[in-house]
Amino acid sequence: MALLQISEPGQAAAPHEGKHALGIDLGTTNSLVASVRSGSAETLPDAAGNMLLPSVVYYSAQGVPQVGNAALTLASEYPLDTLQSVKRFMGRSRNDVAGSEYQLGGGEEGQVRFLTSAGEITPVEASAAILNVLAERGRNTLGADIDGVVITVPAYFDDAQRQATKDAAQLAGLKVLRLLNEPTAAAVAYGLDSGDDGVVAVYDLGGGTFDVSILRLDRGVFEVLATGGDSALGGDDFDALIAAWAQQEYSLQEPEPAQARALLTAARAAKQALSDVEQVNFTVPGLPELTLTREVLEGLVQPLVKRTILASKRALRDAGVATTDIDSVVLVGGSTRVPLVRAAVSEFFGREPLADIDPDTVVAVGAALQADVLVGNKPDSDMLLLDVIPLSLGLETMGGLMERVIERNTTIPVAKAQEFTTYKDGQTAMSIHVLQGEREMVEGCRSLARFELRDIPPMAAGAARIRVTFQVDADGLLNVSAREETTGVETGITIKPSYGLEEDEIAEMLRASWEFAAEDMQSRQLAEQRLDARQLLENLQSALDQDGATLLETAEREALLAQMAALAAGQELDDIQTLKMATDSLARASESFAARRMDASIKQALTGLSVAQLDQLGEAD
Ligand code: ADP
Ligand code: MG
């Protein structure tokens, strides 16, 4: 008989035959692909030798979208059909996007859609077009199909943004081994994961964004201690300042759109050249030549560089570490080539940053190293990369309270379950409201999703056992499921919130949670106390409706009703103590009624039974 063969866990089926994995940096401005070949990670060039693929996609009425430089050259002619920086729109709804240079479609809450000559295009589709080109480059270079990819995302990407990235990969027919945080990838590229424990700061200044991340390596595991930055600060802003400088030098009032673009192109070229030389010629077709020195450039961008340092300071504070605790600083992003940026970073952190690996390729290189491990080419490697969730996750309980199920800063992947119960007798459905945040009351938290668990068998309040499980996978995606334990009915949801969360919103939510901690505790206690009161009143009322007439004397009943009315009236009081005393005293006053009901129900349960059945009951004891 043929037996099924099972290989050792972690061991590739055929170890001599390496699998083909890619690391992909799906950037806002530029994207790259890298792969581990004969032991070292290399970025893969296109046929013309370019490593960077501009993250630009052009959609015409006919045919296949154009990606990269080809699309970039069409941007000025077809601004609405040439999608740039779509990463900003990933996992976002129209509600989240304040203004845009594009014509947007799609509902208020659903995924954003760009209205192009090729019809409505989603950011996921545009990203898939970019991934397609990179994957094809990989296939051509490696001469094989791709077994899996690691795609990098900013550390602060929320569930929706991560899910959108995965959707794009799926659309491009790629198997995502995992999404990896960009700063973690950069640290991996420098081999910091195999070093001693330590703290790493990753300073990433790209085209349109600045991200700073503080990572801690602990026994071979990376944790993100804090992230910070500015989602609207990058090399593009340097270009704009240089263009404005040129405009002033030329005494141009309002340049035509075409001229404005020409100024920006010249500005970018001059800026990049000035990273290597002290002075360049600034040339714009049809205008006299200017000279731009590094000194003038530095004067222009100094305030922006300062802002990145302030954001770095905040990230360190959030992480609870001092600059002296930092063991390595890693530079990422094309804009860290600017000498002033490097100088500011080394001055602030008090050490030379690591910059041996090209800052535009370092993320892709780290992703490739990780992909190689995950695809199974290095069965001995115990590299394990962990991230943490930035805000606590939980659900709404009675009284408008947030019950945290997974605390913030918990390392992912993680799964946690908690039991909940019904509030009312005979309740057959439960509404689950998933929240994110640190505040005690629902209003202070961010609503992620709602769903309902139905078909709970009718039981007395508090008797049902509903187990709610929160699971966050390695990519930061949250899955919530609820299961009624006696019947096994279960329902769940994968959270793909319709709107995103900016890093400064995260910071704001954290700040608010500290500021209002004491107040929140008050509100929580009050809400809980009110809930106790309400529940007692409701239970007592239904007991009175059923058995009040038979089990209580008129005087007893009236005394109870009077006390209930008093508690009901005082229910909205803000005084926790008074409310608690009134509730406790009503509970005591109703004790003998409860005891009588218990006796009565036991008697009733026994009367219908035969002697044989009673014997059986006895045996079962
Ligand atoms: P992103 O992460 O946003 O995709 P990149 O890391 O590719 O961006 O960085 C792109 C930015 O880097 C652009 O603003 C570009 O002008 C800038 N850049 C590239 N090379 C240099 C250079 N030599 N000097 C200064 N800036 C540079
Ligand atoms: Mg980048």
Which residues lie with the beta carbon below 6 Å from any ligand 1 atom? 27-30, 206-209, 234-236, 268, 271-272, 275, 333-335, 337-338, 360
Q: Contact at 8 Å (CB) between 240 and 225?
A: no
Compare 589 and 509 and report the one with higher pLDDT: 589
Q: Which of 46, 81, 87, 396 is catalytic?
A: 87
Q: How far is the CA of 504 from the centre of ligand 1 (A)?
A: 23
Helix (H) or strand (E) segment spanning residue 435: strand 430-436
DSSP state letters, 121-144? E-HHHHHHHHHHHHHHHHHHHHTS
Q: What domains are there in the chain, each with its CATH number?
A: 21-385 (3.30.420.40), 389-512 (2.60.34.10), 518-606 (1.20.1270.10)
The whole-number average pLDDT for the span 92-113 is 79
Say whether 25 is catalytic. Answer: yes
233-257 pLDDT, tens digit each:
999 999 999 999 999 999 998 888 8
Q: How confident is the model at residue 511 (pLDDT cuts 50, 70, 90)?
A: low
Burial 296-335 (b: 16+ CB within 10 A, else e): ebbebbeebbeebbebbeebbebbebeeeebebbbbbbbb
Closest Cα to atom 20 of ligand 1:
334
Minimal-distance CA residue to ligand 1 atom 11: 207
Total Cβ atoms within 10 A of residue 542: 15
Residue tagged active-site, from 96, 125, 204, 475:
204
> Distance of alpha carbon 162 from its chain centroid, rounded?
7
Q: Which residues contact 59 (CB under 8 A, 6 or more apart)?
A: 65, 81, 82, 83, 116, 117, 118, 121
Least confident range from 24-28, 240-244, 288-292, 455-459: namely 455-459
Q: For the chain, first and last CA: distance in Å?
A: 51
pLDDT at 153: 94
DSSP state of 147: -
Residue 200 CA: distances (Å) to CA of 44, 183, 238, 327, 349 = 27, 9, 27, 6, 11
Is residue 128 predicted with pLDDT exceeding 80?
Answer: yes
- As a whole number, mean pLDDT of residues 110-136 equals 93
The rounded distance, in Å, linking the Cα atoms of 387 and 412 is 6
CB-based contact 247:255 (threshold 8 Å)? yes
185's tokens: 């990838």
Instruction: Name residues whose C-beta falls within 8 Å of residue 169's C-beta, 6 or more positions apart in sequence.
Output: 128, 131, 149, 151, 175, 176
Q: From atom 22 of ligand 1, which residue's Cα is the shortest distance away? A: 272
What is the residue with the minimal CA distance to atom 18 of ligand 1? 334
Q: How many CB atoms lie within 10 A of CB 577?
A: 10
Residue 499's pLDDT band (cuts 50, 70, 90): very low
Q: What is the pLDDT of residue 15?
A: 40
Amino acid 618: pLDDT? 47
Give me the helices (H) in 208-293, please: 235-249, 257-273
CA 457 to ligand 2 centroid distance, Å: 52
pTM of this prediction? 0.65
pLDDT-derived band at 567, boundaries 50, 70, 90: confident
pLDDT, average across residues 139-168 = 91
pLDDT score, position 29: 94
Confidence of residue 203 (pLDDT cuts 50, 70, 90): very high
**Active site residue: 147, 159, 182, 503, which one?**
182
Q: What is the mean pLDDT of residues 391-400?
A: 85
Q: What angle do CA 404, 407, 410 make, to 5 degrees?
A: 155
Which ligand 1 atom is nearest residue 333's CA? 6
